[in-house]
Structure 1
Amino acid sequence: MDLLEKKMELKEIQKLEGHTDRVWSLAWNPTTGVAGIPAMLASCSGDKTVRIWQQNTSLPSNPWECKAVLDETHTRTVRSCAWSPSGKLLATGSFDATTAIWEHVGDDFECVATLEGHENEVKSVSWNSSGSLLATCSRDKSVWIWEVLPGNEFECVSVLQGHTQDVKMVQWHPFMDVLFSCSYDNTIKVWAGDDDSDDWECLQTLNESNNGHSSTVWALSFNSTGDKMVTCSDDLTLKVWGNDSATKQTNGDEFSPWRHLCTLSGFHDRTIFSVHWSREGVIASGAADDAIRLFVENNDDLVEGPSYKLLLKKEKAHDMDVNSVQWSFKQENRLLASASDDGTIKIWELASLP
């Protein structure tokens, strides 16, 4: 369906309140929201807690409830959260320099491991597609790769040193064990392991010299097929990158570099903190201008390669900075969650106007 041909709105479903400080990050549980399993969302905050929210469809007016508060583990801001592909484990990264691993059993969450090693704030956590590896990054400029062992044991198998500043985010490719990191040093780095030696190396650096960003890169996200990536920055732009070979490569294949496809500028007037690509192909961005923007590929104009059009804009989506935007994994319901410095989370639905 061509969304550009329809009149769309971003309709607020519910405002979730409970955190007592800014909400930094959100993560949908990938195994929920399908086959009758209620959708589940994790949020983390400067109040040192993680909250687990669950959809209750029997409450049509306010269907989202806080089912658990994970506290008394982190001693400082919880900056990032991510579910494992199985939906059984939740990783949380904190300014206390630790990463906690929570196991979801029944209605309970238990902290089953605490990963230490970073010198200071952990900024982001990310699981690979099989759940066998976890990546963490920090203000100490390093990226750590942890192997998941039986019995909820975690072993650091590599420490990646390449960034010259605070690493803001790590994100695995959706299908391959290739890791992407973005940083305060204005770059995105692409990392892969060597099967023979277990060493990890930087295969490519995307920077200003190859049409990259000119200021801090805050976040990145992949499309559903894994051959495109979008990045967002303090330079007020979104950039789309492509790699036609990305989904065909296997370990041992010669690496095919990512290339810049287009730049979206003029849509936010303050730092863009978050970007997320839905399975349906809609890019959402959230920024320090308190706004959310949605973009879709413009299929009419292929003369100069791919281009993207603004689908809609939501001014004053929150009362303060929008720190995170995350589409749900279930394509059909078009749910978007946003988190803000105002301490709230909002659940939105992308809906057609009558």
Structure 2
Amino acid sequence: MSLTAFQVLQGHTQDVKMVQWHPSMDILFSCSYDNTIKIWAEDGDNDDWHCVQTLGESNSGHTSSVWALSFNSDGDKMVTCSDDLTLKIWGADIMNMQSGDGNAPWLHLYTLSGYHDRTIFSVHWSREGIIASGAADDAIRLFVENKDGLVDGPTYQLLLKKDKAHNMDVNSVKWSSMENGRLASASDDGTIKIWELVSLPI
């Protein structure tokens, strides 16, 4: 058994912090210190992988390093987190992606700001639709989509804030794929904590 690199993808201008496959299509996403998220797809004609879109080159993008990304359960929305202390929600037309070459454009939908005081290192979107974020301010935040229908387009709101979730930076947050409302977090304080969300939003 061996592991062979059949292609090297280049395009980011600084450190690449994370890669993530799309949950239902053969498309790769990457995020970087260069403030961007890149989307990579395979060319059906020559089997070469190439960048089909770069998110962050407009005023709606992050203004500092992008640390992590996560998809919702349908795969039509993505959340990213950054040194700029924001989380950004992006969306795409999943039906066009599945029927075409996967190159339907991803667009900025919403920005969550003012909820963390230092770098946001980690973000994860649960199958129930709850976004968790962990940051260098030792805190965890939970967000959900605001479904009151009062405005055009999706908006998101704070569901819960947990200050001093750890004694040092929260480096990673991850929802359980088996138990609804169960969240794990990891920290520079040398601990891992498992949390239970007592009441899930309707």
TM-score bin, normalised by smaller chain: over 0.9
- Aligned residue for 1:348? 195
Deviations 1:219-255, CA, capped at 9 Å, x for gaps? 00000000000000000000000002x3553486362
- Give RMSD over aligned pairs: 1.6
Larger Rg: 1
Within the candidate set 66, 82, 86, 1:217 is matched to: 66
Alignment of 1:239-254 (within 5 A): 239-244=88-93, 246=94, 248-250=96-98, 253=101
Question: Residue 274 of structure 1 corresponds to which residue in structure 2?
Answer: 122
**C-alpha distance in 2 between matches for 1:302 and 1:201:** 40
Tell whether the 8 Å contact from 2:31 to 2:67 is kept in structure 1 after alignment.
Answer: yes
CA contact (8 A) 1:208 1:214 kept: no
Bigger share in strand:
1
Tell me if the contact between 2:96 and 2:104 (Cα under 8 Å) persists in the aligned partners.
Answer: no
Tell me the equivalent position of 1:255: 103
> Which residue matches 1:159?
8
SS of the equivalent of 1:256 reads coil
Q: Give how far 1:155 is off.
A: 1.8
Matches within 5 A, 1:297-336: 297-330=145-178, 332-336=179-183
Q: Which shows bigger deviation, 158-167 or 201-210?
A: 201-210
* Deviates further, 280-289 or 194-203: 194-203
Say which structure, 1 or 2, has more relative contact order (CA 8 Å, 6+ apart). Answer: 1
Give aligned pairs, total.
200
Kept after mapping to 2: 8 A contact 1:288/1:321: yes
Kept after mapping to 1: 8 A contact 2:88/2:110: yes
In the alignment, which of 292, 309, 320 is matched to residue 140 of structure 2?
A: 292
Q: Does 1:337 align with 2:152?
A: no
**Structure 1: distance between partners of 2:144 and 2:15:** 31
* 1:260-307 residue CA offsets vs partner (Å, 9 max, x unmatched): 000000000100000000000000000000000000000004523100
TM alignment of 1:173-184, pairs within 5 A: 173-184=22-33
Q: Is the 8 A contact 1:301 1:307 kept in 2?
A: no
CA–CA separation in structure 1 for the residues paired with 2:43 and 2:166 = 44
Superposition TM-score, scaled by structure 1 size = 0.54
Which stretches in structure 2 are left out of the alignment for 5+ residues? none
Asked if the contact 1:325–1:337 (Cα under 8 Å) also holds between the matched residues in 2, the reply is: yes
Structure 1, unaligned stretches of length 5 or more?
1-150
Q: 1:124-166: per-residue Cα shift (whole Å, max 9, x none)?
A: xxxxxxxxxxxxxxxxxxxxxxxxxxx4x32211100100000
Q: Give the percent of matched residue pairs that are identical in Structure 1 and Structure 2.
A: 76
Q: Which runs of 4+ in 1 moved over 4 A?
A: none
**SS of match in other structure, 1:249:** helix
Residue type of the alignment partner of 1:222: F
